[in-house]
Amino acid sequence: MPPYAGIATFLNAPHRRRPEGGRPAAAVLGLPFDFGTTNRPGSRFGPGAIRAASRTLTGDDHPDLGLSPEERLDLYDAGDAAPITADIAGSLEAIRAAAAEQIGAGARLLALGGDHTITLPLLEATAARHGPLALMQFDAHVDTWAGTPTAPIYHGSWLRHAIERGLVDPRATVQVGLHSPVDRATAAWTRDQGITGLSAESVHLDGIDRTVERIRAVLGDRPAYLTFDIDGIDPGLAPGVACPEAGGLFPWQALALLRRLGDVGWVGADVVETCPPYDQSDVTAVLAATIGWTWLCLLAARTPANKPA
């Protein structure tokens, strides 16, 4: 089927709610939620755009890993967790419950956002199964702002809440691609938690291999979660985001880093902040789809052929 025909699922995977058994399962879940954004709305349309873009990645193998996800994984698209209009708390609980359903059924979950607020309930569901997580965050922003008494949870505060709730270990957390302004109090709080921050400039100057060494040293061998905010990429190369910040990573750098981290104990991932209304060329959605596909290829590469679930 050509990539512009039929009903779009991620990588043309079958649409169902649960794994069917036999092989290790990977589920894709759409999260069309952008009630937590502080700048440009529109990332609610991200899952649809990413699914559509992903269909150009089907039928061939990863050029370096030499396989495709569906070869060794029971890969399926679980549809969307429907947000509740204007209800942030209710929507986040719906996201947590939908993620917990897939994780509880034994699937590794790839979530498609949506704004970055969605990572908090995803971490709740993942940590409930695996315990406190190591975290790798591609992002322009630290996302450890305090919020306000009336709006404590939004796309700039999810990591602070995750740390305070014990969902992630801050000393096993690495942020890659930072390049946004941040107030001194928030920067100090972030450092005091023991989070490792690697700026976009440091990645440019240190190179891929040195950066991979630093990331591995932080994540260690514990269960790890990947959250990839597309605004970590320079907006000249990925303009379709809610909060663009000049001076980010190149797409090839992000993909090169990810490809070299296949030995990390990944238990879940999300790709967030794709905002299609600001990118008529769809290059941002193509990048988001490629990141998700690459992560699934890493899972497949660690799965022996014909291994039962």
> Among positive and negative, which fits the CA dihedral 291, 296, 299, 303?
negative
Element at 284 (helix H, strand E): helix 283-301
Give the confidence band of 1 by pLDDT, cuts at 50, 70, 90: confident
Let me know: does 93 contact 84? Beta carbons within 8 Å.
Answer: no
Average pLDDT over residues 14-27: 93
Within 8 A by CB and 6+ apart from 38, the residues are 154, 155, 156, 242, 243
Average pLDDT, the chain: 96
Bridge partners, residue 226, by sequence: 136, 269
CA distance to 3, 61, 142, 232, per residue, from 92 (Å): 32, 35, 21, 24
* pLDDT category of residue 6 using cuts at 50, 70 and 90: confident
Q: Is 54 helix (H, G, I), strand (E, B) or coil?
A: helix
pLDDT higher than threshold 80 for residue 206? yes
Global pTM value: 0.96
Overall residue count recorded for the chain in this entry: 309
Structure confidence by residue, pLDDT tens digits, 226-258: 999 999 999 999 999 999 999 999 999 999 999
pLDDT digits (tens, 9 = 90+) for 63-80: 999 999 999 999 999 999
Q: Say whether pLDDT at 21 is over 90.
A: no
Nearest CA among 171, 134, 159 for reference residue 264: 134
Whole-number Å distance between alpha carbons of 150 and 175: 27
Q: Give yes or no for a contact between 175 and 249, defined as CB atoms under 8 angstroms apart.
A: no
pLDDT of the residue at 82: 87
Exposure string over 117-136, b if 16+ CB within 10 A, otherwise e: bbbbbbbbbbbeebebbbbb
Residue 306: the pLDDT is 67
Look at residue 308 in the predicted model and tell me its pLDDT.
53
* pLDDT over 70 at 280, yes or no: yes
Amino acid 220: pLDDT: 97
Straight-line distance from the first to the last Cα atom of the chain, in angstroms, rounded to the nearest whole number:
29
**Is the pLDDT confidence value at 86 over 90?**
no
Q: How many whole angstroms separate alpha carbon 15 and alpha carbon 171? A: 38
Preceding peptide of 114 cis, ω within 30°: yes
Do residues 182 and 142 touch, judged by C-beta distance below 8 A? yes
Unique residue bearing structure tokens 């709080």: 189
pLDDT at 104: 96
CB atoms within 10 A of CB 18: 16
pLDDT of residue 238: 98
pLDDT reading at 139 higher than 80: yes
Q: Does residue 309 surpass a pLDDT of 70? A: no
CB atoms within 10 A of CB 75: 28
| pLDDT > 70: percent of the chain | 99
Does 204 have pLDDT greater than 60? yes
**If we measure between CA atoms, which residue out of 3, 34, 28 comes closest to residue 277?**
34
